[in-house]
Structure 1
């Protein structure tokens, strides 16, 4: 069994440039940019504590103590997690214009906790797989690819989501690996283009410019990758539901007495 990789990538791209895809991109960019500026602010604050004011290029508006920055960064991180969960829900649905409020609120605490804990467990499992001659790591990465979708959309806990993803990807893992490579290459291309912003780094202004370019690339690739993941999930889920429907129909036909 296989999936049309090119078609899924195209659908993912179309969902990315729909109105709500662009809004999600803007929100992710804004949150990530502010978080990055906090990092620069902490660096400026630490430099201002070590040197005399005249010996460091510092903007007073960017001088933020580490404790304050940590608190703000934590809040922003939680916000980014909520947006990421909502993005999965948006792209799995047929909604292309709005960002329904329920996608940001429905069981969001439960989903967030499972995404955080699940990501740690997922990372450990895949890392152990890569240690075991790489191939097992790639296999696990593909087989468990949709666990976050099951957590966000189906409200499953991460353990059940691992099992659901394992079952859903059965028979499609080589195609999904090919899809993953395609997304990885496109992501690398976008990062390479926006990576030109690094040429401006070296001064405070240059670092900010480089940060803007880097976070723009990150927002684009994050939304695109999520859209592709959701599109692939939707197609496989539809096939799975159809296969189950056929099985039930065949079973009921077999059990029916002949006329």
Structure 2
């Protein structure tokens, strides 16, 4: 089956602005806000230490939490773990095409297994793509596109990350150029949106409000990240459900019943 880019972009937007999408987006935004503020709390003393004496007033002020560094570090780690859980729930919701609500089973069905494999698989994914990029760039791009649906397979079909990588590689065969174009379009849109927001805030906010601008940009990236997940989840569904049985490959089985 040939991937329909327009459908993926349109349905991804529809999924994100639905009631279920809004719930996932709100939870993810709140989690990443806690992470950003906690990270800022850890970063601010380092920036202050690097500032030459006598120019302290020129140091950009970050929006921080009124907590000790140890607490901020714990909150940051907890936020990252929560973000991984929400990402799995988001993928399950988008792949299932749920718009009215997020089924409870998406939050409880083998979640520890899914989170561990998403995290470890993400590290393995980064290493493979990084190694391919160091070689001749093109192998890195091929690896990135070929393994693009690893998280969908882990989240929806409850397989480990190695099996998910193999299935993603098979599923993307024949559509890797289209998938690459889809990712490029999305990334360009994200970069442009981030630049516009950052540039616009420079005029709207008063001098010294760079920390607040950073938080706003982080929230823009939250929306962009979930939209990317929604679009790729629809692309995953298109390719998964459109596999030609005559090629000897059976359609994947949804372990979650979606």
Pick the TM interval, shorter chain: 0.7 to 0.9
Report the equivalent of 2:65. Answer: 62
- Give the alignment partner of residue 117 of structure 1, picking from 116, 120, 126: 120
TM-score of the superposed pair, with normalisation by structure 1: 0.83
Alignment equivalent of 1:188, drawn from 184, 187, 191: 191
* Conserved 8 A contact 2:152-2:233: yes
Query: Residue 225 of structure 1 corresponds to which residue in structure 2?
Result: 228
Gapped runs of 5+ residues in structure 1? 49-54, 249-259
Aligned to 2:139: 136
Distance 1:39 1:232 in 2: 33
Over aligned residues, Cα RMSD in angstroms? Answer: 2.7
Distance in 1 (CA, whole Å) between partners of 2:197 and 2:160 is 37
| Residue number in structure 2 paired with 1:149 | 152
Q: Which structure: greater helix fraction?
A: 1
Gaps of 5+ in 2: 50-55, 250-258
In structure 1, the partner of 2:15 is 15
Once the two structures are superposed, residues 12-46 of structure 1 have per-residue CA deviations (whole angstroms, 9 ceiling, x without a partner) of 11111111112222221111112212233345567
In structure 1, the residue matched to 2:245 is 244
* Greater radius of gyration (CA): 1
Determine if the alignment matches structure 1 residue 102 to structure 2 residue 105: yes
Matched-pair contact (CA < 8 Å) for 2:15–2:94: yes
The count of aligned residue pairs is 238
Pick closer, same or farther for the CA change 1:112–1:18 going to 2, 3 Å.
Answer: same
SS in 2 for 1:171: coil
Q: How far does residue 224 in structure 1 lie from its aligned partner after superposition?
A: 0.4
Change beyond 3 A, Cα 1:44–1:182: closer
CA offset at residue 76 of structure 1?
1.2
